[in-house]
Structure 1
Amino acid sequence: MPVFTQKNAEKQLNAEADKVQRDDLESLLARQRAIEDKVKGSGKLQRFSGDIKLMFSMIGDYWNGSYRNLPWKSIAAIAGALLYVLNPLDLIPDLILGIGFVDDAGVVALCLKLVETDLIRYAAWKEQREAATPEVI
């Protein structure tokens, strides 16, 4: 079995991102819980749990129009990576114990590398927005 490489991750991420349409974001947001549960249950993906929550938050704010300060390419890459994680029959099927999530982790890691600046900007925006919003008791 060939080793999953960064080149494989890039190919898979590009293939998924190219398929993403704006309407897919709503469907993806509806499946957030399933993806987060899958991430929690896998050793290789679990370390990306916080990043994946931030990705979902950014997609949600993009979807509802409150945050649009990023290119569609970044949203498509994030959505593509998350949809790839959701697919149990991807390049290395998730059912293969020990290595089934290696490709998923590779795709997520590559996506994080590609959209790192956008995620950092979004996290700063979100933090500033939350600081400016008075807490309701």
Structure 2
Amino acid sequence: MLSKKKKEIDEEYLKKGVAKVKDGDVEIAAKNQDTIEDKIVNASALRKYTELGKLMFGMLQDYRKGVYSSVPWFTIASIAFALLYVLNPLDLMPDFIPGLGYVDDFAILTITLRFIETDLHKYLDWKLEEE
């Protein structure tokens, strides 16, 4: 069962999900920042994403405010998709399944970071210059 679920969570799955993201989804992700951050911090499988999650939320917030616009829509949509996926307790592998519930969330975050890594570095450089 796990290998079947793992195959469902791949780059194509992410790309299809990202293609459906709208501006309203970015707003929903931003408005649920506290809930998503709590889930990441409290799920041991996701805890390693705590700082990266904060960075992703920072980019979303600065993008929404219009203070950081040198980022492709694909990156913003990828962040929104990944964060909303983590927020959803009934995704491909429901979060209440002990030991396995966060495997898909972990996979989505990992694949997303692989796609947006360069843009996150650019954003972090920009943030450091702003301070």
Pair 1:35 & 2:33 matched = no
Distance 2:11 2:84 in 1: 14
Distance 1:48 1:128 in 2: 24
SS at match of 1:43: coil
Cα offsets for 1:39-69 (capped at 9, x unmatched)? 1110111111100110000000001100011
User: Percent of aligned positions with the same letter in both sequences?
Assistant: 43
Cα offsets for 1:93-126 (capped at 9, x unmatched)? 1000101001100100110010000000000000
- TM (norm. structure 1) is 0.89
Unaligned segments of structure 2, at least 5 residues: none
SS at match of 2:39: helix
Question: RMSD value over aligned CA atoms?
Answer: 1.4
Pair 1:8 & 2:1 matched = no
Q: How does 1:101-120 map to 2 (within 5 A)?
A: 101-120=102-121
Unaligned segments of structure 1, at least 5 residues: 131-137
Q: Which has the larger radius of gyration?
A: 1
Report if the CA contact (8 A) 1:16-1:83 is conserved: no
Q: How does 1:1-137 map to 2 (within 5 A)?
A: 1-3=1-3, 4-5=5-6, 8-130=9-131
Name segments (4+ residues, structure 1) moved above 3 Å.
Answer: 4-7
Distance 1:70 1:30 in 2: 20
Give aligned pairs, total.
Answer: 130
Report if the CA contact (8 A) 1:94-1:101 is conserved: yes
